[in-house]
Amino acid sequence: MPEKFKEFKQICQGAKLEKQKRKKDWWHALPRFISIYITWILVKTPITANFVTIIGIIIGLTGLYLIFLGSNFTIVLGFILLYVYYITDEIDGEIARYKKQTSVKGIYYDEIGHLVFQGSLFLIFGLNLYNITSNNLYIILGFLSSLFLLCIRAVRKICFVATSKSSVEKIMNKEHITTQENESIKGGSKLFKGIIINLVNGFSHTMLITTVFFIGYLLYIYFDLLWILKLLLMTYVFFLLIVFIAFTITKYRSLEKDVIKIYNSISQ
Amino acid sequence: MKRESFKDFKRICRGNKSIEMKKEKSWWHALPRFISIYITWILVKTTISANLITIFSIIIGLTGLLLIGLSKSLLIIIGFTFLYIYFILDEVDGEVARYKKSTSVQGVFYDEVGHLLIHTGLFFTFGYSIYRITSVNLFLILGILAAFSILGIRIIRQIPLIASSKGSVKIIIKDEKNDVENKPSKKSFTKILFYIFKNITTAFCTTIIITTTYFVSYLLYSIYDNSQILKLTMVSYTIFMFIVFLYFIIARSRTIEKDVIKSYKMMNE
């Protein structure tokens, strides 16, 4: 039985866990740790992956709505539902991989789900703070952070657009040789830079953002520290703006590598 | 001699853009393209590279937005002129790149970042400028909401590209290839009506038409000194963009398989 579970885990999460190790995106570790057990149960039922995705989106939206309502109880409940959404977000992929149901529709639902959550997370926090303080500024701050988060997302996807423009191919073949020869040198400053990048990536991820605000809200509810929430939202606006600019520059530098990577994954 | 070569020149610069325009009936590109080809004709004789034009155009576009944001009547008009120059230069860079065969991934990147900045900045700036004129906070929020919707539409458009690059999908694409391709399109009155409606909706989601609409309403505002027109434009455009965004989510989920196959073919050509 435990042997079988290991195999099951390999099928469901294999590729993802390798990616997680390589990119060190530790923020996925917790939902993945929990999700595999739920997948283990769900694959025995006739529930499809797309169904799980849709249920996940509904749960997440309910969570956002509950946070928006703004009483202490609904806020905590809302955050819990958001965490449930993050877990279902892993489950759907795992079921699809296990049942070999991966489909374009599935990817579409998944992407729409991400779009809706990345778009509305800060918006809800902003609206909520506006309800508490009745200061218009927070709505605007919330909107702006959402906008920056979406912009980061859009920049991340530019390499796909670049790959699809067919005239680019010839250039890629030429650069194929030169880009792969770059060996990565490890030094103290590079390690430090790696940690910074890792942290920045982590804190621009919806799950960590949710966690940061969850802690902020808990502090507000139990110790009445409203200024922490205000500070969090303001800091995040600047943080995301800086990340957006930095991200645009770094993505520009790694563009050719990214394009080649995508191209290879398609033509494999 | 010159006339003949200009025709050839036009064909080289446009590449498959003019075929695309005819097929998709994207008439809103016609005016900037009509002007851009003459500028390209001059610019290809210089050493100016396509990427330089793109960067220059982004700076012009952002300056235009800044001028509109300052909300003085003369500056607004100059700002709009700058935006139109941006739209023309946006065509010029591609034409120069195609003519000089200097199309590159970096060029695509600059172009996309430019679109991203200008598209999202557009409604935001209009909202901010109307807020400056009327000092009603609501317009600031409406501006951000509209910017939000346009960004959302843009991101949804990219989903098929992402989907087609995920390796595991390939098998499914090949299976579905056969049954998608042989569908005859029926033409009926309602279908044509729907088609026209769709065409106009798409047009009003493009930045050039959005800019023109706002330009007209700013002009009306400065002539009649009635901010009611500006307010109405902002409110109705925000609602319109939001509805289009929601509709887009549903419409794209229906055509996602076709779109994936299309972009998959494009990548493998």
Tell me what pLDDT residue A2 has: 54
- CATH assignment of A1-102? 1.20.120.1760
* Average pLDDT of the segment spanning A60-83: 91
What pLDDT band is residue A235 in, cutting at 50, 70 and 90? very high
Q: Which of A103, A115, A172 sits opposite B172 (nearest CB)?
A: A103
Residue reference for tokens 């970096």: B106
Q: Do A140 and B144 touch (CB under 8 A)?
A: yes
Give the minimum alpha-carbon distance from B246 to chain A in angstroms, rounded to a whole number: 11
What is the overall mean pLDDT for chain A? 83
Asked if B177 contacts B89 with a C-beta cutoff of 8 angstroms, the reply is no
Say yes or no for a CB contact (<8 Å) between B159 and A111. Answer: yes
- The C-alpha of A256 sits at a distance from chain B's nearest C-alpha, in angstroms, of 7
Do A108 and B253 count as a contact with CB atoms less than 8 A apart? yes
Q: Do B165 and A146 touch (CB under 8 A)?
A: no
- Across A240-258, average pLDDT: 86
pLDDT by residue for chain B (269 residues), tens digit each? 455 577 778 777 777 777 777 777 778 888 888 888 888 888 888 888 888 999 999 999 999 999 998 888 889 999 999 999 999 998 888 888 888 877 777 888 888 888 889 988 999 899 999 988 888 888 888 898 898 889 888 888 888 888 777 755 565 656 555 554 545 556 678 888 888 888 888 888 888 899 999 999 998 888 888 888 888 999 999 999 999 999 888 888 888 877 777 777 776 66
Token digits of residue A143: 């909107």
Min Cα separation B261/chain A (Å): 10
Considering chain A, tell me which residue range(s) the CATH 1.20.120.1760 domain(s) occupy: 1-102
- C-alpha–C-alpha distance, residues B19 and B231, integer Å: 39
Average pLDDT over residues A209-233: 89
Task: Delimit the domains of chain B by residue range.
Answer: 1-103, 140-269
What b/e readout covers A26-63, taking b as 16+ CB neighbours within 10 angstroms? Answer: ebbeebbebbbebbbebbeeebbbbebbbbbbebbbbb
Most A CBs within 10 Å, among B109, B255, B262, to test the A interface: B109
* A140 reaches B (C-beta below 8 A): yes
The pLDDT score that the predictor gives to residue B72 is 84
List own/partner pairs for B227-234 with CB under 8 A and 24 or more apart. Answer: B227/B130, B227/B133, B227/B134, B230/B130, B230/B133, B230/B134, B231/B130, B231/B134, B231/B136, B231/B139, B234/B126, B234/B127, B234/B130, B234/B139, B234/B142, B234/B143, B234/B146
Count CB atoms within 10 A of the CB of residue B78.
15
Q: Which of B264, B267, B269 to mutate to test the interface with A (most CBs of A within 10 A)?
A: B267
CA–CA distance, B137 with B129 (Å, rounded to integer): 11
| CB spacing of B144 vs A112 below 8 angstroms | no
Q: Residue A107 in contact with residue B162, Cβ under 8 Å?
A: yes
What is the reported pLDDT for A101? 76
ipTM of the complex: 0.77
